[in-house]
Structure 1
Amino acid sequence: MKYEFQPIGIIQSCFKEKFGIPRQSGLIPEAEAILTILPPYNRAEAFRDIEGYSHLWLSFVFHAAIRDQWKPTVRPPRLGGNQRVGVFATRSPFRPNPIGLSVVKLIDLDISAQQIKLKLGGVDLLDGTPVLDIKPYVPYSDAIPDAEAGFAPTPPGREIQLSFSRQAESELQKHSAEQVIQLKRLIYQMLSNNPRPSYLEQEKRNRFGMRLYDFNIIWEVEDDRYLITELSPLSDQPFA
């Protein structure tokens, strides 16, 4: 049997590359995205009453992790990248069918003419991600407080010290106070979840960079102290 699916929408995310994306949704509340619905699914009646739900399930394609062959075991970052476990015991993007599932916060629904956009929060989605389906999150059935979580029983993250260089602060001054607060919160939450691959930690590498919104961000890390050394725009467009 073979099945084919058409995306119902495309994600425009603050994460422009895979490095730095949280390993689960909800870990970084400030991580936002816009889901633009594609024709013929951009009909207002298809979204009637969706605003009554605070959170949504998204089924999507790991479009940047598609491989010709699948492997039965993977090395999850939670185990340091050194131990193999069964692919079906993980949420690795490298799967027989590269389909992901995330719970995201519905911040806003914008319906105008034939265009429908959903503003989402707490995302773990790469820019350009194709979305296959949307379903409401229902707390009484979807939340199981006493469920067991295997080798990932507790959430990642820790308190860190974050500072910005003079250059980075100067660049931030070009934007509104609201935008600066949002970006600083996003950077803090991202770094407190430690996006570094474990093998780079073992190599004692302390300088990293990534794209976030339309910025290129360079930082240095020593223990739990992070310094944003450089923050440069990739375009003249606002990042919010």
Structure 2
Amino acid sequence: MMRPVAYIKSDFTSKFGIPRQSGLTDLEAEIHFYPEYQNPEAVRGLEEYSHLWLIWEFSRSIRKEWSPTVRPPKLGGNTRVGVFATRSPFRPNPIGLSSVQLTDIALDPHEGPVIHIQGADLLDGTPIYDIKPYIPYADSHPEARGSFATAHRDDHLQVQFPPELLNKVPQSKQKPLIQILSLDPRPAYQQDPERIYGFPFAGLEIKFRVEEETLYVCEVNEGEKK
């Protein structure tokens, strides 16, 4: 029986707003081990790698039944494809896989090793089942085809963030928040320019709307305290 070895601390407390894939620059998070796995020997040598694979659980998407097909948002929410041809969280086994950048491993006197990473697309508190080093010659395939999931990282929305609202965001969180917004957090099939969307990030509630190729931030409010 598999058991989580760690969990993540991130700025995301809601599924809405989380990047659809890992790798977003400057988005920081921490991996904390459960007591049984807080032995520093378990991460010895890990600092020699620049990137890691995280194997984790879609803990908010567990269902009793599974469907052989799902409706990816990128296809408008109406076209069905096989679940194994997608990265949908609704799977027979709710397992996720993310590639992240390793920035530091700190030794906490009470919690043992704490792994600092960038680029995680995980909800705060997500259970992590395993951590593996990313091996460039084996794991990188630039020539690979991506079907409907192929996207260009330059295909971003323009973000209009009024200075008086941006100043409510801690400086260290401003750049990653703008990056998240530029990727368009909305479901692909929702295109109403009058609709106001919102999601929690780093203890704040961010509200925005999108018109054509521009995202307009409307409000930044204090979020609910944990």
Same fold (TM over 0.5): yes
Aligned equivalent of 2:90, options 94, 97, 101: 94
Tell me the CA shift for residue 231 of structure 1. Answer: 1.2
Q: Tell me how far apart the structure 1 counterparts of residues 59 and 142 of structure 2 sit (CA, whole Å).
A: 32
Q: Is the 8 A contact 2:157 2:184 kept in 1?
A: no
Mapping 1:150-169, distance limit 5 Å: 150-155=147-152, 158-165=155-162, 167-169=164-166
Q: Deviations over 1:177-228 (max 9, x none)?
A: xx42x32221221122111013321x44431111001111111221222222
Worse overlay, 145-154 or 55-64: 145-154
Match of 1:133 in 2: 130
- Tell me the equivalent position of 2:209: 220
Runs of 4 or more consecutive aligned structure 1 residues displaced over 4 Å after TM superposition: none
The 8 Å contact of residues 62 and 98 in structure 1, kept in 2 or not, is answered as yes
Query: Is residue 146 from structure 1 mapped to residue 143 from structure 2 by the alignment?
Result: yes
Q: For this pair of structures, how many residues does the alignment match?
A: 225
1:189 maps to 2:189: no
In the other structure, the counterpart of 2:198 is 209
Q: Shift of the alpha carbon at 1:30?
A: 2.2
Instruction: Look up the equivalent residue of 1:221 and give its one-letter code.
Output: V
Correspondence for 1:79 among 75, 80, 89: 75
Counterpart in 1 of 2:189?
199
Which consecutive residues of structure 1, in runs of 5 or more, have no partner in the other structure?
173-178
> What CA deviation, in whole Å up to 9, does each residue of 1:3-43 have, x standing for no partner?
x21111111111110001111111x2122211111121110
CA distance in 1, matches of 2:34, 2:52: 18
Give the AA of the match of 2:210.
Answer: V
Among 12, 17, 21, the alignment partner of 1:15 is 12
Compare 96-105 and 29-38 and name the one that shifted more.
29-38
1:110, CA displacement in angstroms?
A: 0.8
TM normalised by structure 1 equals 0.87
Q: CA deviation at 1:160?
A: 3.1
Structure 1 residue corresponding to 2:64, chosen from 65, 68, 81: 68
RMSD: 1.9
Q: Aligned to 2:20, what secondary structure does the other structure show?
A: coil
Please name the residue that 1:24 is paired with. 21
Return the alpha-carbon distance in structure 2 between the equivalents of residues 20 and 217 of structure 1: 9
Q: Please, which of 225, 230, 239 is the counterpart of residue 219 of structure 2?
A: 230
CA distance in 1, matches of 2:30, 2:129: 15
Q: Are the aligned partners of 1:13 and 1:125 in contact in 2 as well (CA < 8 Å)?
A: yes
Letter in 1 for 2:222: P
Identity value in percent = 43
Q: What pairs with 1:108-127 in structure 2 (closer than 5 Å)?
A: 108-115=104-111, 116-127=113-124
Residue 124 of structure 2 aligns to which amino acid in structure 1?
A: D
Alignment-mate amino acid for residue 65 of structure 1: S
